[in-house]
Each structure stands twice: as C-alpha cells, then as structure tokens.
Structure 1
Amino acid sequence: MVRQLFNWRSALALVAIAIVTGTIFYSNYLAKKIAADERRKVNVWVQSLKTRSNTSDQSAMELTNIITSENNEIPIIATDEKDNPLGPNDVANLDSVKIRSDTNYLRNKIEEFRNQHEPITVEISKDPHYVNKYYYGDSQLLQEVRYYPIIQLVIVALFILITLITVSTRNKSTQNQVWAGMAKETAHQLGTPLSSLQGWVEMLKEDPASEKIATEMAKDVDRLKLVSDRFGKIGSTPQLEEKNIIELIENMVAYIKRRAPEKVSFSINSFNEHEIIAMVNAPLFDWVIENLLKNALDAMEGKGSIDITVKNETATIVIEVTDTGKGISKQNIPNVFKPGFTTKKRGWGLGLSLSKRIIEQYHKGELFIKHSEVGKGTTFKIVLKK
C-alpha cells in the first residue's frame, strides 16, 4: 500500500512537471511573439505621430489619426531626451485621473516601463540635436500570458494536493477498517476459550485444596475478559459513563504495581481530592492508563519512579504520567504516536497509537508528550473535557 501511494505520488509529480514545463515554454514563446508584435505597433504609433506633426495633408492626417486611435491596450509615455514627460496629450492608455492628481505618477510609470522595454527614440531636429523618447509597458494580454504558468502551477498543485489527500484518506480508512476487523475477530476468537476457562475455574473452586489457585486464575480470566472487551469495542462508538477517574487510576496502578519490579515506586497525587467525575468508557480509559504505565516501566529498565498527578481544573481534568526513564530523543517525539513505531525489541508499536485514538476520538480529549529529556524521563499528559 505504501509503495502504491509512492507510485501515485511519483506519477502525479511527473505529470505536474510535464504540464508546467510545457506551459512555461509555450507561454514564453507566446510572450516573446506578443512582445515583438507590440513593439512593432508602438513603432507604427510613434511614426504616425511624427508624420502627423510634419504634414499638412488632410488624408495623411486622417490616416495617422486612425492608426493612433487603434492603440487602446499598450500604455505609452512620450518624453524629451532628458526623460521629462512631454505632457498629458502625449500619453496613451494610462489613468488620466492619476495623471492630473499625482505629479509623480508619470515618472513612476516611466521607471516601470524602462525596466520592461527599451524606449523607441525619434529624432526631432539635428541642430541642435533633439529627440523624443517613447516608453511603453506590457499590455493586459501580455501580462496575462506571462502570469498564466504561475496560475496553472497553482491549479496543478491544488489538484495534486486534493488527489493525495483523497488517496491518503482512502488508505487510512481502509487501514482503520482492517484494524477494527482484526480487533473484533480477536475478541470473537478469545470468547470460546474464555468460556471454557471460566468453567474450569468454577470446577477448581469446588475443590478446597485448589481454592487459592482458582481465585488467582479467576483474576487472570477476568483480565482476559477485559482485554477481549477492549478489542471488541475498537471500531464502535463506545458508551461514556460517569466514573471516578481517581478510582480507575488507583485500580490500574495497583494492578501494574503487582507486576512491576520492586525497585520501581509509584505515587498518585490528586491534590487531596478523592473523587473526580468524568464521562469515560472505563475499559478503554483503563487501557490508556495501562499503556502509559507499561511504557514508563519499559523506559526505566527495572528501577525508578512513576508519578501520576490528577488535577480537577475549571473546565478540564488533567492527568500527567511522569517516569524517570531513559526519555525520548527530539527526532523520535513526532513519531511516538504513529502506528508501528517502537524503540523496543518486542512489540508492534500500537499501544500509544491506540491510546491517542481512544482519548482524542472517543473521549474528545487530548493526549500528548508534555516533556521529555534523554536520560531523565518523560511526561505524558491527558486532558479530558468535563
């Protein structure tokens, strides 16, 4: 699936490059052609003005008037040899209001046109030597042709982005369906042996000599039932109920503590509160706390401390799990909650990913790394809305 997505991206990138490259070359070709044609038109316009000023023939003057009036696109400014504008009447296709109200408007336009094209020079007299310069800018058509590749590049980029988002969303949806299906099938497969184990436990309880063993086995069977129940809830909308968060955390800490090394200490600080009610799904919330505690144990490698704080704030309940383990490097922090990421030799790297999904999707809360320092430890933070 990853290779397929990569091939999609590669193909789209090649298509985009081909389209944009072809567009740029063709647009440049058109722009040069239009620019050459516009310079020819400006030259004809200038020559017609020169002819009109040097002739008294009525027919010639009418012809030059037609030629000059046909230019309604290319902006032109006539100047003397020192680049001083000749006047409002020697200007074409510029804002007449700005010409009258802004004394610097024509000079700014001359500077702009100078950067676009070489002016056309016309000799007025030889002795003394006078010339007029005609500065001109790009027409609206030429500007649109030059900007067209940029516009098309934006359109192609948006198309590729939308396509990639669609493909990625579809793949994630497929992955979610696969994971949910596997989880439900796992829960279903666990059901039959669990029922059988419960029967054997009840038979052992009838034997006084095996009563103690049966009691411990019953705890493990109940634990397996809880795991099966968790897997069965993946992919379904869980029912949230009012639960005492402190009690849930204390029960999970007690469970983990019995299975933790003796050199690992646990502490819970609820700031003298014994009951903090939140809307949660108890089995799934327990799973999150269990994953965080197990993750902390793995990070400490047999010794250290795990401190849990629970704060009852105005609009939220904040839970922090802090360990004194090996910490997480900065480059790995963005990957911690990604499915499949793990630094351990064993495990699938799904615990933290599932935990984040449970808190954020099912409980509409937040789960993130508040702080981590290599060699000193990590703090995970859960924020639940009241």
Structure 2
Amino acid sequence: MIRWLNLRNILAAIAIIIVSGSIIYSRYLSQKIAKDEKQRVENWVEAQRTIMNTETQTVPPLAIKLIQENVDIPIIETDEKDSITNYRNIDSTRVANDVDYLKDKLRQFKAQRAPIILKLSDTPYIANRYYYGESRLQQEVRYYPIVQLLIIGLFITVVIIAQRSSYRSTQNQLWAGMAKETAHQLGTPVTSLQGWVEMLKEIEGASYIAPEIEKDVNRLLLITDRFGKIGSTPRLEERNLVEQVQYMLDYMRKRAGGKVQFIFNTHGEENIPAMISPPLFDWVVENLLKNGLDAMDGKGTLTVNLLHTATQNIIEVTDTGKGISKANIKNVFKPGFTTKKRGWGLGLTLTKRIIEQYHKGTIFIKNSELGKGTTFRIELNKGDV
C-alpha cells in the first residue's frame, strides 16, 4: 500500500478528483443553462406570436424587450416544410460567403433538439418552426473540463519531468562520487604495490614472479583510471576501432579458456576511425565480452561484428548463451539488475552511461532468444562525436 504513495500517483489521484468534480459540476451547470435557454427561446417565440397577433400599431413593450434581449442564442426560423425563412444571432458574413453554412447549422440544431413550433393557421396548415443551438456560455461550460484536464495534464507532465531530471541529476552525482572515491581509495595501495614490484625485481630468484605481478598492478592502475574518469568529461581521441576492439578480444581470449571460439568480423575494413575515450571504450567492450562469456558458462561462440555507415560506427557483440527473457530485457541496464549469483549488476549500467553520456551514442539489445543467445548493439554517431 505504502509503495503506491509516491508523488506521481498522488498528483494523478488529485488530478482525477479535480477533473471528475469539474465534469460533474460542469454537467450540472450545462443542464441548468440549457433549461434556462429553452425557456428564453420559448418566451422569444411567444413574443413573436404576440407581435404577429397584434392588430394595432402599438406593440406590447414586453414583447419587444424579449425579442431584443436575445443576443446570444442562435435561432433559425423555417416554415412548415422546413424551408429556411429567417435566422438570428448567426454570423451573417459566413452566411453570405457560404451558401451551405445556414443549412449545415440547421442540420446541427435538428440533431440537438426538437424545434419550438408556432402554429399560424390550421386550414391551411401554416406554422413556423424555430430551431436553436447553444449560446457561447453553454459551449464554454461544456468544454471547460477538457481545457482544465489539459492544463492539469500539462502541470503533472512538467512536475514529473522535473522530478525525473532531479532524480537523474542526483543519481549522476552519486555515480560520480562513488567512482571518484573508489579511484581515490585504490590509488594509494596501487602506488605502494608498484614500489613493492620494483623491489621484488631486485630480489634474486623472484625476478620471474615480478613481471606477472606487474601485469596485475597495471591492470589495477587501468581500473583506477577508468573510475577516475567517471563523472568528469573525458578527452576523446581519434582511434582505430578495429585495433581497439581487437586488443580487447585478445585480452579476453587469453582468459576465456579453449572452449570459447572468438570471431571478429570487420567486413574487410582495416581502419575505422572514431572519436573515443580509449580507457572507457575498452571498459565497454570488456563488459560486453564478459557478459557474453558469463552467459555461455565457458563454452560457445562469441562474435563481434564491426561495421560503419556514412553516419554511424556500429559494434555488435553476439553470444550463444542462455539469452534474456522478454520480461528482463527492459531491466538489463538498470542498476542492481543481475542474473548472476555473484555481481553487483553495475557493469551494463556503467556501459550504458559511458556510451550515451560520454560518447553521445546508443546501446541496446538488438535481439535475444532464450537458449540461443543475445546480441548487444552499439551505435556511435560520427557527426556527434
């Protein structure tokens, strides 16, 4: 129950209550105005009867007053055969410029309500029929709830956008703070390890160990550098994507075991230039390759397809692993989501952030099928980078 009590749902509930109340009250006012206008038209028709039946030159002042007071209710007068004979409170300019305008209005009035009939003679039967529409006030009252709904909808939209923007800003600051703090915490021990490695090289009999430890220390330095660049605007450099991706493939191939086949398709291209941040871009490729290896449980085929168009550089990473269910596809890039027994569920979240915020590209799951595998697709726009 409590989880539904958030700002968005509360605003939606308030909007529904306001609009519902407005619609009910507007209908009440509309019915009241319609009843009043019907009475006014009937009085107007009765005034017409009085004037027609007056045999003297003196017309009753009340009849004249009733006729003159109707300046807002549109009325069309017809004879007993429904041929138009007169009209009132209808735009004369429109009538003059459009021969069908008055006929259209008559059809509209007929659809709304029955006419008020003024019988002039029984034998032969002669009568005037008075069809009338809605006044401007009636129309405004009728459409007021719709206008109000649009205003409230716009207000809620602005609030939600502002809320999301604030949330994303806070989230970005949190990501940046965590990343920089991680880089800071790693910096001191890694620097110390570098010193120990140099000392280890000088110890007799340990020289063969030192290079391997140095590789791991350099790896830690790379990770520290990556985390240090999160939250700040990285410097983009022109690099060859073929070489950049090949380097990460070679790195992962050594750690994947012999049961995984790596395929790299460049479609004959040896140089595909792109503006990237090399440490962060390598991190993206590494995350996608690791994700594919985990999905395959150490055996299968991992394919990287690299191609480019006039406007985009495209990298596709395809594995032959477990696949992702349709229900989980929308959650893959969300922080904390993981299907692994171990892991924080942050790799793909950081990958998305690096591609979309720092490289102005897009990353998404092109396709995935349970039991057959998944394809991730990265699109880097040449003009934006």
1:291 lines up with 2:290 in the alignment: no
Deviation by residue 1:55-109 (Cα, 9 ceiling, x = unmatched):
1333325653443232121111122344333x1xx21112334545655444432
Deviation for aligned residue 1:358? 0.9
In structure 1, what is the equivalent of residue 150 of structure 2?
154
Over 3 Å counting, the alpha-carbon distance change for 1:203 and 1:360 in structure 2 is same
Deviation by residue 1:164-208 (Cα, 9 ceiling, x = unmatched):
111121112111111210111111011111112112211211124
Deviation for aligned residue 1:215? 0.9
In structure 2, what is the equivalent of residue 377 of structure 1?
373
Identify which range, 310-319 or 375-384, moves more after superposition: 310-319
Q: What is the correspondence of 1:32-111 to structure 2 with a 5 Å cutoff?
A: 32-60=31-59, 63-85=62-84, 87=85, 90-99=86-95, 102=98, 104-111=100-107
Over 3 Å counting, the alpha-carbon distance change for 1:207 and 1:43 in structure 2 is same
Deviation by residue 1:286-329 (Cα, 9 ceiling, x = unmatched):
00000010111111122111111222443432222121112223
Deviation for aligned residue 1:372? 2.2
Whole-angstrom CA distance in 2 between matches of 1:84 and 1:283: 84
TM normalised by structure 2 equals 0.92
Which of 169, 177, 202 is equivalent to 2:165? 169
Cα RMSD of the aligned pairs, angstroms, is 2.1
Deviation for aligned residue 1:340? 2.4
Whole-angstrom CA distance in 1 between matches of 2:304 and 2:292: 11
1:241 lines up with 2:240 in the alignment: no
Deviation for aligned residue 1:19? 1.4
Over 3 Å counting, the alpha-carbon distance change for 1:36 and 1:369 in structure 2 is same
Deviation by residue 1:107-143 (Cα, 9 ceiling, x = unmatched):
4323311232332222222344443321110011100
Amino acid at match of 1:79: T
Aligned positions, number: 381
Amino acid at match of 2:376: F
**Structure 1 gaps, min length 5:** none
Whole-angstrom CA distance in 2 between matches of 1:236 and 1:138: 63
Whole-angstrom CA distance in 2 between matches of 1:362 and 1:59: 89
Over 3 Å counting, the alpha-carbon distance change for 1:5 and 1:69 in structure 2 is same
In structure 2, what is the equivalent of residue 28 of structure 1?
27
Which of 223, 228, 253 is equivalent to 1:257? 253
TM normalised by structure 1 equals 0.92
Q: What is the correspondence of 1:1-386 to structure 2 with a 5 Å cutoff?
A: 6-60=5-59, 63-85=62-84, 87=85, 90-99=86-95, 102=98, 104-386=100-382
Identify which range, 123-132 or 256-265, moves more after superposition: 123-132
Identify which range, 135-144 or 256-265, moves more after superposition: 256-265
Identify which range, 273-282 or 144-153, moves more after superposition: 273-282
Deviation for aligned residue 1:30? 1.7
Whole-angstrom CA distance in 2 between matches of 1:328 and 1:227: 28
Does the Cα contact within 8 Å between 1:300 and 1:323 map onto a contact in 2? yes
**Structure 2 gaps, min length 5:** none
